[in-house]
Each structure stands twice: as structure tokens, then as C-alpha cells.
Amino acid sequence: MSDKHKTTLPAVVEPGELQREQMHPLVQAAVSGGNLDNMERLMDLQERWEGQQAKREYTRAMVALKTALPPVVKKDAKNTHHGWKYTTLEAMVEHVTGPLCEHGFSLGGGVKRLEGGDVEVTTDITHRAGHSVSITLSAPPDRGAKSRKTGDPTRTEVQGIMATTTSLRRTGISVLLGLASADLPDVDDGGPSLVKAVKFLERFEELGKTREEVEAFLGGDGDPVPLQKWDAGHLAQLQKWGQELAQ
């Protein structure tokens, strides 16, 4: 994964063009005093400072987003050939779009074909402050299972590219947002999932809580509830508590 900052600073800064709160203190002083010597150095300083500010805002917003975003996406489709269930890209996007917009994030990315034939998909998440984090994945076109009659792939080349693009896009979103794999059997069975529990614990660690504190919270006035015994009811309690802490 990579991260970057998209600066919107103009090429030339005249006094009064930037709001004071958007400027580094040293740049403020230079502009206020009409001293625009070494402007290139001041611009570099301003750009680095903007990047740091945007990254801080991204981190704060991401903590709040992860607290509000359910960490597991349900499987909504079934592979008729193999019989196993999976999560479609449509379900993944629907799962995350509302919380992303609420907390000032947007999804983007791109696709290209590599020389060897593999499909490369880049997925990025950008905060309204300008900071962006991306992940790039690649894989061969998925031509599907071979026909029992002819031995040929069941998908055309174009269909294989589309299938791989969809899969890599879905995986990229899942990785960037820390979503648990929807292909785990216990997700659909409704039982406790260690993966889900760990994801919740990671969120509370970002909020400054230790594992012991979280287990004690779930125990109430009784004994702490160890992570391995968390069930759907415990996770619902934690989601509500996390939302309160993030406010």
C-alpha cells in the first residue's frame, strides 16, 4: 500500500490568497511582512506542513469510520459451478459507501493490463482533507472452470479480465478498510468469529483501549469476557461503545 497527499496550494502565493489557518506559521510571517524571498523554500515548507495536517485528519477520520463500519460483509451470491457462496463487488460497495461519505472519504482507482497479460487493479481511498492511501494488486484473467465437454475455459478473454478486475477491486476495498473476509464459514452461520473479534479489538486499540479494558467492559460487574468467547451480542455492545468513544 502507498499513501500520498494531494496539495492544492497555488504555484504563486500572494499576500491574502490563503486563509491564515491554512498556512504554516513561518509562511504566515513571511507573507504578512511582505518578505517573499526564498519563496521556493517557503512553498516546500507549506506543502510538507499541509501533508502532515491532511494525514492527521485522515487518521482521525479513519478511526471514527472503522468504529461506525460493520467489519463483516455478508455473502450475497452463490457460485453455481462449485456451490460456495461469496460476496459480490456490488454488496461490498453498498456496505461501505454510506459510512465512507459520512466520514469524508471517497473510493477511486484504476485498471491496466500488464505486459505478461495479468490484470493490475489499483484501489485508493481519499479523505476530503487531501490525504490518500492506495493498494495495487494483480492477477491473471480468470477464465473460469474448464468445460467438461470441450476442455475450454467457460469465460472469454474479456469476461476473464472483468472477473479478475471485480475480484481485485473487492479485495482492495476489504484490505484498505480492514474488513473481515466474507468467505469465512462462521460469518454466515451467525456464530462467533475470532477474525471479527480481532478486528473489533484493533479498533479499540486505535481508540486507546487495551485488550484487558475491552474484556473487562464486556464482563460488566462480573469476570472479564476473553476475546475467544466474544459472540454477536458482545460485538454489538462493542460497536455501540466504540461509537460513543469516537464522538
pLDDT greater than 70 at residue 14: no
**Hey, how many other C-beta atoms are within 10 angstroms of the C-beta on 5?**
18
Tell me the whole-structure pTM to 2 decimals.
Answer: 0.57
12 vs 72, residue with greater confidence: 72
**Confidence category of residue 195, pLDDT binned at 50, 70, 90:** low
| Number of neighbouring beta carbons within 10 Å of residue 180 | 20
Reference 154, options 167, 144, 142, 141; nearest CA is 144
Between 1 and 228, the more confident residue is 228
Mean pLDDT, rounded, for 181-204:
56
Q: pLDDT tens, 148-172?
A: 778 787 788 899 899 899 988 988 8
**Cα separation values, 150 from 21, 133, 179, Å:** 68, 45, 39
Mean pLDDT of 128-156: 84
H/E stretch holding 198 reads: helix 194-206
